[in-house]
Amino acid sequence: MLNGKTAVVTGGTRGIGKAIAYKLAGNGANIAVIATRETDAAKKVIDEFASMGVKARLYTCDIKNADEVASTSEEILADFGQVDILINNAGITRDNILPSLSTMDIDDVIDVNLKGTMFVTKSFIRQFVRHRSGSIINISSVVGLMGNKGQTNYSASKAGIVGFTKSVAREYGKKNIRCNAVAPGYIATDMTDKLSDEQKDMVKSQIPLGTIGSPENVADLVLFLASDSSAYITGEVIKVDGGMYV
């Protein structure tokens, strides 16, 4: 389905990003992963992608640093030649009620989730324009649409991604570049593992399908949006949340 194409996946060493990269690699795409650290576990993940017969490389880069993003994107383009798919997945949480959020809690979440997504997209957009094709998929969240107690910083960053996605779709549609957002609900990863069992049961009780989602559930939707099966879809925000926010 994606044979010969190259995908950049930020945060592709763990959780949802790893499942996305795995799914794209399984469908023939070469994979450039961006993460903050080159741990043994991260290296193993990249080896796993490469063992599927595609080219796979890990780039360490803090996406909240615009200069690092610019040099990393140049490196990726030099290594892979062309990028066809960009998945802005990397994200963090710093949860607390509003009065208890430090300035750093607010800055970090906005800087990584929103500004990082903008920096990475900006760094690849000219080459998408040059090739008159590209699919950009930004990982937002249902809480960016519905809000959430204790996540004002995170929800604002994810709502910002929605506005960014729609604007990129409008700005680059005529160049055959699509930009869509995916809004996952509650997905089992390191990020959500921090919640207590009581909190997890509370969340589950609010999900019509009654179960917590898997990273693969998100990856299935991302594959569709990355491929030509979604050729006439742009500027959309699609939830994958078990009905959590119907």
The footprint of ligand NDP (CB under 6 A) covers 10-11, 13-17, 34-37, 62-64, 89-92, 112, 116, 139, 141, 184, 186-187, 189-192
Tell me whether residue 139 or residue 177 sits nearer to ligand NDP (CB atom). Answer: 139
Contact call for residues 218 and 137 (beta carbons, < 8 A): no
From start to end of the chain, where are the E strands? 6-10, 30-35, 56-60, 85-88, 134-139, 177-184, 237-240
Q: Is 186 a catalytic residue?
A: no
Written as six digits, the tokens of 177 are 């570049």
Give the nearest distance from C-beta 244 to ligand NDP in angstroms: 10
51 φ/ψ angles, rounded to the nearest 5 degrees: -70, -10
The alpha carbon of 66 is separated from its chain's Cα centroid by a whole number of angstroms, namely 17
Give the nearest distance from C-beta 127 to ligand NDP in angstroms: 20
| Catalytic-role residue among 22, 59, 154, 172 | 154
Tell me whether residue 155 or residue 234 sits nearer to ligand NDP (CB atom). Answer: 155
11 carries a ligand binding annotation: yes
CA distance 98 to 105: 10
186 carries a ligand binding annotation: no
Tell me whether residue 116 or residue 134 sits nearer to ligand NDP (CB atom). Answer: 116
List active site positions.
154
